[in-house]
Every structure is written in C-alpha cells, then in structure tokens.
Amino acid sequence: MKKVTILIGSPRKNGNTRILAAEAERGLKEQGIATETVFLNDLKIRGCQACYWCKKNDVAECAVKDDMQKVHRLVQELDGLILASPIYFSTVTAQTKAWLDRMFPYVSMNLVPKLPASKKVSFIFTQNQPDGHLFESGIGSFMYAVGLSGLTVKDHMIACDLDTGVKPPVTEKKELMDQAYRIGKDLLR
C-alpha cells in the first residue's frame, strides 16, 4: 500500500489550511492510499543547529534528537508528501520553516539530493490577500528548497482571500475545494 504523509504548518487544527489538506486526503484515500496527518505545531522541532554532523558523516540523519526524528522516519517511508501551510509575512509559517531547515540531512554538500525522485510532494498554501501573485517569490523559493532534498515537486495551489473566523470558510469556495481534492488525487499519478 502506498503511503502519503500530510504535514500541516498551520497552528489551527480546524482552519482553512487543515480543511484543504483534508480535501486532498480525501482524494488520496479514494485511491486506497494510506495517509497520516501530522501537525507540525504539535511537535517539538528545534531549528537546525548548523552542527554539520549530517555533512561530516555524509548521512541522511540528524544529530538533534527531538520530534523531527519521527518526521524523518515518515519521510524515509513515504511515497508522497502534502505540505500545507498558511502564508505568514510573505512566506510559510515558522513551524514549516523549522521543518524545512531540519530537512538539511537530505541535501549533500554538493547539492546532490539524498531522497529518491520517486517520492513526490505537492503544496497547499493559504493566504488572506486576494492576489495570488503577491507572495509567489517566497512560495517559489520555499518549494525550490524542498526540492533540493530530492522530493519531486508535483503541484501546488495558493488559496487566497481566506481568514478563518473573519471571512467565509473555504468550504464555501468550491473551486478551491476541488483544487485541493485534485492535488491529493494526482499526487502519486
């Protein structure tokens, strides 16, 4: 059975980011793909300590023993990853950025990735601003950096004009719900 991990970078358990990620999960489950959702905000993940232990030993392992060890195990086992994060100050949340920095063990010194390209990743971003082009550069460099690990970047969506509790929930925006569903459905195709 194929496995997909869904990482949520929003601190809100029932915010729009989670709702869209659950819609992607529906697309995955319909194809018999096993999923596991992890809220990064529930984990204790320190920032990268720049010890270069992974580089000196040339291993895809991290010397920092915290909850990122669990995420590393998931990354080793998964066939696909959905990363869902709100945009905070033009880029992903701090929880999501901490995760990215701790993916450093999968990038060797000469930038040769350590994860096989058979593993796929797609992204769901949510933001308040209605203009989906506003944060493209921050989003683009984030996705590029994730790809340095070797994960093949498959697709992404930017869900705009969302503000949980202030604006209508994303469940009322069929186009965005459909887009998230397709992100899940197409991830491993």
Contact status: 88 vs ligand FMN (CB under 6 A): yes
Exposed, middle or buried: residue 180 (CB in 10 Å: 0-12, 13-18, 19+)?
buried
Contact status: 9 vs ligand FMN (CB under 6 A): no
CA atoms within 13 A on the CB side of 173: 16
Binding residues for ligand FMN restricted to 113-142, rule: CB under 6 A: 126-129
Among 67, 155, 163, 186, binds ligand FMN (CB under 6 A): 163
Q: What three-state secondary structure class fits 112?
A: coil
Contact status: 80 vs ligand FMN (CB under 6 A): no
Contact status: 164 vs ligand FMN (CB under 6 A): yes
Provide the minimum distance between the beta carbon of 92 and ligand FMN in the complex, in angstroms, as a whole number.
10
Helix/strand/coil (H, E, C) string of 1-51? CCEEEEEECCCCCCCHHHHHHHHHHHHHHCCCCEEEEEEHHHCCCCCCCCC
Query: Closer to ligand FMN at the Cβ: 129 or 152?
Result: 129
Contact status: 15 vs ligand FMN (CB under 6 A): yes
Among 4, 5, 10, 99, binds ligand FMN (CB under 6 A): 10
* Gyration radius of the chain over CA positions: 16
111/107 Cα distance (integer angstroms) = 6
Which residues of this chain interact with ligand FMN, rule CB under 6 A?
10, 12, 15-18, 86-90, 126-129, 162-164
